[in-house]
Structure formats: C-alpha cells, structure tokens
Structure 1
Amino acid sequence: MYRIKQIPEDFIVEEQIELDFDEDGKYTYFQLDKKSCNTEDAIISISKKLRIPRNAFNYAGAKDKNALTKQCVSVRGSIRNFENNEIKVKVLGKGNKPILLGQLTKNKFNLIIRKVNERPEKISFIPNYFDDQRFGRNNLQIGLNILKKDFKNAAKSIEDKRTLEFLKNNPNNSIGAIRCIPFIILKMYINSVQSYIFNEALNILIKENSKNLTKVDYKQGEFFFPKEFIEIENLPLISFDTIYSNSKLENIYNEILNNNNLTKNNFIIRSISNITPHGDLRNAFVEVEDLNISELYDDELNKNKNKIKIDFSLSKGSYATVVIKSLFSK
C-alpha cells in the first residue's frame, strides 16, 4: 500500500490567490508558511504570541496539518514578521478588504508518494469528492447533532478548551458552549454534513452511469472512480433553500436525508447566529491540471521500496488526496 505524508516535506501545497493592495488599507496581508499544524491552530498560535484577537484574522481555505503549506491570511490592523519551528509570518502588504473564505483560485501541489510498486497512468479528471480532511475527527457527527438541534451532545463532542471550560462553569448552557467556537469552525461542522450528502449523491450517480469503476474506502464510506468521464450535472451543496434541477435528483437527495433523519428544514439554525448555510452548486468532476508524474526513485525512508514525485494543480475546494486515491486505485 502506498504511503503519503510520511514527513511534512512529502506534501507541499501553495495557495494561488489574487490580492488588491493599497498601502493605506486597514487590513494587512501576510503569507503563512506552516508545517505540523493546521491553519486554525497556526492562527490561534499567532494570535496568542502577538496578542492579536483571533477574530481579526481571515483566510481563504483551511490547510492540512501533515504538510508544508503556503497561504495568504489577512489581519485587521498591523502585524509583524514572525517565525518559530512550525510557523512563519511574512508580511506582503496592505489592502481594504479581508480575505474571504473561498477567495483562492486554485492550489498547486508538489507531492512525494512512498512505498509504490509502479508508475501510475496519468488521469485528466477526478470525481470532485470531499475527502477525509473535510470531516476531521468528528466534524460530521457534531454537524449532524447541531442540525438536529441536539446541542447537548454537539457541545460534548467538541474537543476544545474553550467549550470544555464553559461547560464546566455552565453545565446547562450547551448553546453558549458551542458559541465559544470561532465562526469559521462552526461553519465547518455544518459544511461537513453538506459535504457528506454531496459525496453520497455523487456515488449514486456514478454507480448508475458507469460499470467500469473502482472502489476506494474513506472514513465516511466509499469513493467510486469511473475509468471514463461521465456527464453529470453540478450537484447541490444542500441547504434549506435548495432547488433541485429535476425530480430524479430530488429523490436522490431526499433518500440520503431520510437515511440520516434530516430534512431541508434542519439546515435552518436559529439558535446560533450566522451559521445557517446557503445552498450552492459544486462540480461533479474536476480537471487535474498540469499533471506530471516522475519515474520511480529509491525510497530512502522505506527499505527496498520506491517513491514517486507527482505535481499538479486543482481548482479551489478540490482534494489532492482524491487525485492520489484515483491514481493508485485498482
């Protein structure tokens, strides 16, 4: 079985984003280089070290813990250059707007895959699945509990010092405990449910439209990779206001919702401000751009094994690990 992310240097991600600079702007843009921590943990560390409120920071997309990553972050006000063993802050300039979630255009990946036996064949597309990183350790269950208004179990499942401390002092105020979590993290819990439902719908449509496919496990179930491109329309990221393009798609989504004891109305969340999600569409398939696959090299970390270098770009919101799963699926 191949291995990824054996060391952080095996997985290098560089965010591609366009920024409008203005030397009189009230926001400072900086490049965040990090390893061995996720984006949110890095921001919290910077916040504490430089004594800047966490809610002053914004970024376009969360980056994985087990990787070397480069991304742009905005902070309200000023910040200085800063560096430790895991994090480097490099000021880029000022602007008038904060960076918004989803603002990036694409991500460029430089990967080393270890313990491989052969060079995979090139691919030009992947099903646009959300992979394990989207779901974290228990994001999906927390999100489901919030949507079902089971705030007690949602709060208990959140492994965060702020929530635990609040519950210790206010054991009957589960909603208050949940509100201790940064907005961007609360959104991730709800987004994980939308992502799971999208994956399940895409699975159903791929299996209906292709007989030549391979199956790969992931934490929430299975992925199916067709050998040929399939014309599947953009699929909804479900919300209370989702309008389906046809009755077949509506039936598919309703079946998935029913299996999880949900309806569209569950996505209206009045008890916690501003986390009711809005509906959107996501490509069912996405292009793997500028894919380069090296020859096999001796793997210095695994005796008598080979490694391979793979470079490519993906549009925002798509997962490099899905590319790897597709390349090495049999």
Structure 2
Amino acid sequence: MRMKIKVKPEDFIVEEDADLKLHKGGDYKIYLLRKRGFNTVDLLLRLSKKLDIPFSNFSYGGKKDRHAITTQHITIKDRKVFDTEEDSFNLRYIGDMQMPMEANLITGNRFKVVVRDLDEKEALKSKGEIGFVQEHGFINYFDDQRFGSFDREQGFIGEKILQSHHNIALKIYLTGIHPEDKKAEKERKRYFFNNWGNWNECLKRAKTLFEKRAFRILSKKETNPFLTNILMLPREELSLFFSAFQSYLWNKLAERLLKAHCSETLLKYRGAYWEYLFYKTLQKGKLNYLRDLNLPTPSQNAEMPDALSERLYQEILTEHELKPSSFTLRKIRTAFFKSSPRNFLIIPMISLAEIEDDELYTGKKKLILEFKLPRGSYGTMLIKRLMAE
C-alpha cells in the first residue's frame, strides 16, 4: 500500500518531551527550538554564524527532520540569553542547566501526522490495524531517513571503512548521488565515478574544498592516500556514516529474529531502499518475550541477550566479512562505534485516528493520527506498520 506523508510541513509535526535538569545559574542555557524546512544540524550551523557562537557550544538530544514542523530542546554554552525568530524557526529561552542537552534527557516524542492519497478501503484497513498495534506493538526498526548516505550501487561508507576498503569508501563519498543533489553536483559526481583513478582529470573538475584536497592528495601518489582523505572527513559526517551502517546491521538482526520467532505470515512494506517485515499475529508468550527484548547496536563489546541473538548476529557479521574486533578503528580516532541498547518492540500510545476527505487529492481520503513514541523510535515506522500488507 502506497501513501503520501510530509506533503506539506503541517502534515508532520513532532514535539520533543524531555526531563530537563534546570539549575539557575548553570553554564548552559536551555532553549525550545521550533523549526521548519531545516534539519537540526544545518539550523544550528546557521545559528552559530548568526549569533557568533562556536558550533561546538551547541548541544541537542536528537536530530529532527527538515520535512516537518518540529520542536526540540537545545543548549548553548554561553552567558548571554538569545531569543531570536525568523520565518523558518523560533528560539525561546527556558532556563539554565549544569549540563548540555543530550539524548538521555529526552523522554519521548509526540506526533501529529496526516497520511494522504488513500482510497477509502486503504484508509479503513490502516485504521483497523491500530487496535492490534496498540496491544502488540511493532518492530522498532531504524527508518529510511537513517540511511541517507547509503549508495544503492556501492553500499555503505561505514561498512567499507570497517573492511579497510578505504578506496571504495572514499569513492562512495565523492561519487554517491543523492536526491537532494543539484544537477551540476550530480554531473560532477558522475564524472568522478567514470574517471575514478584518473586523478588529474578529476582534479580539474573538482569544485568543493574537500574535492580539491582529496584529488590533489591522490594525484601525488602518497602512502595510504585513501585513508589520509578519510581522516580529513568531519567527525560529524563520519559518525553519521558509522551510525547508518550500525543501524542497518541492527535492522538485519531484528528481521532475522522476527523470522525465527514468528513463522506465521508476515506483513511487508517497501521502503526507500528495502522491504520492512512485520508480524501479523503474535502469541502472548512471544509478546512478553519480545516486549522485554533489548538488542544492542553492533560494536566491539556488544553483548547479545541470548544464544539465538548471538548466533544470528555472528552470521550477519560473517556475511559482511566482519568480526566484533573490526569495530575497533585503530587508524581513525575522530569517530567510533558505540553500542547502546534498543528495544526490539515498541508499543505506541495512539490518541487519535480519524479519516477525512483529502482536500489535496480529489476523491481520496486522509488518515489523521496523533501518537507518542519513546526516544529514538520513528513515527514513520509506525505508519509503515499500519500500511503494511
């Protein structure tokens, strides 16, 4: 079942709930940031320039999508108080804290979502799934937006770095084409891809500072030029590449466990890159087990909760030519793989589900949802589960 979300920013509203540790006179000023049309990092970079404050002084608990209206908490390490507003964002001072904003202060996120372009049968079927999902939950997969750096033809940058294939990792970084790339950027990346290895030709077409530095280093034929370039990548980007592959491995393990525990007919939803599988039914004993199951995100010291999870995890690592020790990056110190527990199953709190005529798509219906999820869970994944067939 296909549907449309985020047709306009008002169709996807996210409000962050947090347990703030307010302390008058603390070094960190805590703000409520409401935004639209920006992802969190890009907006903080803009605020850094606007307020003339180093980007490193900004902290946040989670990245929020640019294709939505979102409200979240950030801290700025500065004695001054800044209240600022533009058409696309509003920054409002709340108080002081003795610590920066971080993920473990977030208690959950509240969502208001409009799902569009549904026929009446689809809308009724999706609404009809809510009772089951509220009682039995859904698998807590990482969703498509986590995998923006994935290249369909070449794979994950993080995976190639773990395998010490620095040449391929750099190639993906410099040639991987993404939907948001402008026409000139796509053409330049295709040129780099087709001329990979002809460094002088690539250098002639290089435009960004990183491209020029990278191809200059490669053209000089220095020792380990590919690793040298990888080490020049910003820490924030490297962390994103690592977390993308880490999340992919977690999803793969969750899917294998699903198949092992639920042999009944599975539901499917086709995402941007691959299919997501969900259980259609779940016995009470399985529900109790899976509801309490926590799977760590892969790293050197990740400890699986039981023998089955460990066996499946080791199988997945072997398929990717990896071992637990592979996650120790001795040559890269700017970013690393950190393991954290993640619930296998999430039970949402759905407070509203209404079907109305869709004013944007003639003759179609829209499903209006309001719900709350724990920190780190994706509202879009709940929607995929409701739409799965």
What amino acid sits opposite 1:142 in the alignment?
Answer: I
Structure with the larger helix share: 2
| Counterparts of 1:162 and 1:236, CA distance in 2 | 37
Q: 1:299 aligns with which of 341, 358, 361?
A: 358
Which residue in 1 is equivalent to 2:301? Answer: 241
| Counterparts of 1:315 and 1:162, CA distance in 2 | 40
What amino acid sits opposite 1:67 in the alignment?
Answer: A
- 1:258 has 2:260 as partner: no
- 1:132 has 2:144 as partner: yes
Conserved in 2, the CA contact under 8 Å of 1:163 and 1:178?
Answer: no
Q: Deviations over 1:77-96 (max 9, x none)?
A: 13522222322222222211
Closer/same/farther in 2, CA of residues 101 and 185 from structure 1, 3 Å limit:
farther
SS in 1 for 2:14: strand
| Counterparts of 1:199 and 1:27, CA distance in 2 | 36
- 1:75 has 2:76 as partner: yes
Which residue in 1 is equivalent to 2:51? Answer: 50
Conserved in 2, the CA contact under 8 Å of 1:104 and 1:316?
Answer: yes
Conserved in 1, the CA contact under 8 Å of 2:294 and 2:305?
Answer: no
Conserved in 1, the CA contact under 8 Å of 2:295 and 2:305?
Answer: no
Gapped runs of 5+ residues in structure 1?
none
Deviation, 1:193, is 1.6
Q: Which deviates more from structure 2 when the two are superposed, residues 225-234 or residues 258-267?
A: 225-234
Deviation, 1:3, is 0.8
Which residue in 1 is equivalent to 2:214? Answer: 167
SS in 1 for 2:10: helix
| Counterparts of 1:115 and 1:53, CA distance in 2 | 44
Closer/same/farther in 2, CA of residues 97 and 271 from structure 1, 3 Å limit:
same
| Counterparts of 1:305 and 1:58, CA distance in 2 | 42
Which residue in 1 is equivalent to 2:384? Answer: 325
Q: Deviations over 1:65-108 (max 9, x none)?
A: 21110001111113522222322222222211111234311010
Conserved in 2, the CA contact under 8 Å of 1:20 and 1:95?
Answer: yes
Which residue in 1 is equivalent to 2:97? Answer: 95
Give the alignment of 1:1-330 within 5 angstroms. 1-77=2-78, 78-117=80-119, 118-119=123-124, 120-121=127-128, 122=130, 123-124=133-134, 125-138=137-150, 141-158=156-173, 163-164=210-211, 166-167=213-214, 170-171=217-218, 174=226, 177-178=229-230, 181-210=233-262, 211-229=264-282, 230=286, 231-232=289-290, 233-273=293-333, 275-294=335-354, 296-330=355-389
Moved over 6 A (4+): none
Closer/same/farther in 2, CA of residues 217 and 182 from structure 1, 3 Å limit:
same
What amino acid sits opposite 1:167 in the alignment?
Answer: A
Q: Deviations over 1:35-59 (max 9, x none)?
A: 1221111111111222221111111
**RMSD of the TM alignment (CA)?**
2.3
Q: Which deviates more from structure 2 when the two are superposed, residues 169-178 or residues 60-69?
A: 169-178
TM-score computed with the length of structure 1 as normaliser: 0.91
What amino acid sits opposite 2:17 in the alignment?
Answer: Q
